[in-house]
């Protein structure tokens, strides 16, 4: 009897073992975990996280999981996953994959929340396996459509594939059968999808939190015997509703060795400042143009008031073309804001998105001089796009900078030192030095530790 596509996913989720993990996949997923914990800890200082936490406190359960960076605060595992997921994406500082999605934020909060309430604490390798199962399912689903290769226009990808990855990771930790894993995916699909119109608002971080929570709930319902359509991935009226040109394929036969991790060949991008990934091309291009200006002028003291125009050649994407952002979330999705911040300050940081920085007169003046163009050859894809920045001055001179691969992109990954430096800067805003150092040590040795409960202890060593 031929196995359907959805059944192939269910079988793989069940059958994948620690022996399938490769050295490269373990290495890359450790980096993803560390970065995600850092941005999640930093995210606990945001308004959207605080609102999500306050809302979730009304839910009670005999099973309780920890909230990162909040010693003594626990919630039912579904809501701990929700709140921690919101924290991860609250500043748009989390990793990004190709085809486009934020893969880790929908999975790591679930894996850690569920691990706390299992009768037997999973080992580090168990956590790595469940995490990678959740990442793999997302990567496979994103390959079902050519539409997914481009910057999204209709649905926010973590709400589509993230909830499926969460369900898969949860099913793996819960030890579900192939049939139950299949039904977990079917149930999760009915919680998938959120419109891109809520990008650049406080609601966008909820997308990650909801994906985490609802994926866990789907796996738990499947464990209880609830069923969905076992062909949900096979059908255009199933998972195909989220993509045009839907062309699904089976995950592979583990018995014949016909399996390769997507993460093995496709690394993730790690952000150096908290904004939409497209902003990282713009910032590097703007800084390159500014460097050329300084070099040709022979001085670092050029008056930016002499700039008459800043032209940005970027892909066409309406939701990240925001000429005069009024909020931090709009600023994180504004080509214009990030280019001007880089020109004024020599870079973009966490502080760049404070209200004081957003509304300063010098920035608003420079924003009025920005023109955005979208050449036909500049594809709206995180794998192919570029940014070309041109500065024109009162003297009639022009200075240019171009970026086709920023530092942190999967083609140009952060060094381990810079990745840990980012984590330390983020985590130390919440945790003590002992907590920060402890997390780095646990993640570094994740594939060798038998009891992962120490990670939860370090995540609550607040400063």
Q: What are phi and psi of 227, to 5 degrees?
A: -120, 150
DSSP states along 407-425: TTSTTSPPPHHHHHHHHHH
Per-residue pLDDT of the chain (463 residues; tens, 9 = 90+): 457 999 999 999 999 999 999 999 999 999 999 999 999 999 999 999 999 999 999 999 999 999 999 988 999 999 999 999 999 999 999 999 999 999 999 999 999 999 999 999 999 999 999 999 999 999 999 999 988 888 888 899 999 999 999 999 999 999 999 999 999 999 999 999 999 999 999 999 999 999 999 999 999 999 999 999 999 999 999 999 999 889 999 987 777 777 899 999 999 999 999 999 999 999 999 999 999 998 887 767 778 888 999 999 999 988 788 899 999 999 999 999 999 999 999 999 999 999 999 999 999 999 999 999 999 999 999 999 999 999 999 989 999 999 999 999 999 999 999 999 999 999 999 999 999 999 999 999 999 999 899 999 999 999 8
With H, G, I as helix, E, B as strand and everything else as coil, classify residue 462. strand
With H, G, I as helix, E, B as strand and everything else as coil, classify residue 2. coil
Beta carbons of 66 and 460 less than 8 angstroms apart: yes
Task: Give the pLDDT confidence score for residue 447 in this predicted structure.
Answer: 96
The pTM (predicted TM-score) of the whole model is 0.96
Task: Give the pLDDT confidence score for residue 1 in this predicted structure.
Answer: 41
């Amino acid at each position: 009897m031929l196995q359907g596509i959805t059944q192939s996913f269910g079988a793989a989720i069940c059958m994948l073992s620690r022996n399938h993990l490769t050295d490269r996949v373990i290495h890359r997923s450790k980096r993803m975990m560390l970065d995600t914990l850092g941005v999640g800890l930093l995210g606990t200082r945001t308004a959207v996280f605080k609102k999500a936490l306050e809302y979730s406190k009304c839910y009670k359960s005999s099973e309780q999981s920890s909230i990162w960076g909040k010693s003594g605060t626990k919630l039912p595992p579904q809501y701990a996953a929700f709140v921690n997921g919101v924290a991860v994406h609250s500043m748009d500082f989390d990793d990004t994959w190709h085809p486009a999605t934020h893969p880790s934020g929908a999975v790591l909060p679930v894996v850690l929340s569920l691990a706390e309430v299992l009768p037997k604490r999973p080992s580090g390798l168990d956590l790595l396996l469940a995490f990678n199962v959740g990442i793999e399912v997302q990567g496979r689903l994103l390959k079902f459509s050519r539409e997914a290769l481009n910057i999204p226009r209709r649905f926010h990808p973590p709400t589509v594939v993230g909830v499926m990855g969460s369900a898969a990771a949860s099913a793996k930790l819960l030890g579900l059968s192939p049939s139950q894993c299949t039904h977990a995916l079917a149930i999760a699909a009915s919680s998938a999808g959120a419109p891109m119109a809520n990008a650049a608002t406080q609601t966008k971080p909820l997308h990650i939190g909801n994906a985490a929570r609802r994926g866990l709930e789907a796996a738990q319902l499947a464990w209880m015997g609830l069923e969905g359509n076992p062909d949900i991935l096979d059908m255009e009226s199933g998972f195909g509703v989220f993509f045009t040109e839907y062309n699904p394929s089976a995950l592979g036969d583990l018995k014949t060795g016909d399996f390769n991790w997507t993460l093995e060949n496709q690394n993730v991008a790690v952000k150096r400042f908290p904004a939409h990934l497209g902003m990282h091309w713009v910032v590097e291009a703007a800084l390159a143009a500014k460097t050329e200006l300084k070099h040709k002028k022979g001085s670092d003291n050029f008056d930016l008031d002499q700039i008459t125009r800043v032209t940005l050649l970027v892909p066409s994407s309406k939701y990240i073309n925001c000429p005069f952002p009024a909020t931090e979330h709009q600023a994180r999705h504004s080509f214009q804001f990030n280019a001007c911040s880089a020109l004024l300050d020599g870079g973009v940081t966490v502080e760049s998105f404070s209200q004081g920085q957003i509304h300063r007169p010098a920035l608003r003046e420079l924003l009025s001089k920005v023109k955005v163009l979208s050449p036909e050859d500049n594809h709206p894809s995180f794998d192919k796009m570029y940014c070309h920045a041109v500065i024109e001055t009162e003297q009639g001179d022009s200075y240019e900078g171009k970026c086709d691969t920023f530092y942190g992109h999967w083609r140009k990954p952060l060094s381990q030192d810079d990745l840990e430096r980012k984590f330390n800067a983020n985590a130390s805003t919440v945790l003590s030095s002992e907590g920060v150092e402890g997390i780095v040590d646990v993640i570094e040795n994740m594939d060798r530790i038998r009891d992962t409960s120490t990670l939860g202890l370090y995540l609550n060593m607040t400063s």
